[in-house]
Amino acid sequence: MKLEIACFNYESAIVAARSGADRIELCAGFEVGGTTPDFEILKKLKAEIELPIYVMIRPRGGNFVYSDSEFNQMKSEIEKFGSLADGFVFGILDSGSKVDVERNSELVQLTGKPCTFHRAFDEVDDFDSALEDVILCGFSNILTSAGKGNAIDNFGKLSDLVRKSDGKITVMPGGGVRSSNIEKLKTSGANWFHSAAITDGNQSVDANETKKLKL
């Protein structure tokens, strides 16, 4: 199995890289589930670690329906991070809780790199049509807990999504993924898993938890 660790600061990314992570999702805004990080942190990390780093592009917390100015901000941030990021993480919905195919496709094309559609996916009304829309946009991965709550709470739906993805896209369980439940989650058929590896409620990755997730 492969493990992506969400890192909200420089120190966490270093810990994740030294503790067995296969990829880092770099973001800020821990309290709102992730926003666009500081470019200088990415720059510093790329000089120190070789692990692939995917950068979150999210202008604010809250819903995933963005104004024209917010969308333009996302495009500017992709261009800013493009020279250093190994991939990007974002997701835009329309006012009807569906995947905004036009805007997401534009961003994926702009990056020219692998992209993950993040947990905005959990807020769509129809997972089957959303899955096809995300594939159509050109994303490489979907980060999802398959609905409200944590991944383990939606194990059946998650397993169904993995099956329906059928090699066309990687469905990556995320949301409350910990060493205490990853063995069960592995039986979903997923190969990639996403965790913040936080054990004490702060914003820092726990080295021992990361290692246990990889066992």
pLDDT of residue 206: 97
What burial class does residue 200 get, using C-beta atoms within 10 Å of its C-beta: 0-12 exposed, 13-18 middle, 19+ buried? exposed
List own/partner pairs for 199-204 with CB under 8 A and 24 or more apart: 203/8, 203/9, 203/12, 203/30, 204/9, 204/11, 204/12, 204/15
Domain 2-214 has CATH 3.50.50.60: no
Point out which residues pair with 192 in neighbouring strands: 2
Per-residue pLDDT of the chain (215 residues; tens, 9 = 90+): 999 999 999 999 999 999 999 999 999 999 999 999 999 999 999 999 999 999 999 999 999 999 999 999 999 999 999 999 999 999 999 999 999 999 999 999 999 999 999 999 999 999 999 999 999 999 999 999 999 999 999 999 999 999 999 889 999 999 999 999 999 999 999 999 999 999 987 899 999 999 999 98
- List for the chain the helix, strand, coil content (%; round to 5): 40, 20, 40
Structure tokens at 19: 């503790």
H-type alpha helices, the chain: 10-18, 39-46, 68-81, 101-111, 127-137, 155-165, 182-186, 207-214
Give residue limits of the domains in the chain. 2-214
Q: Which residue has the tokens 């709550």?
A: 149
Q: Which pLDDT belongs to residue 103?
A: 98
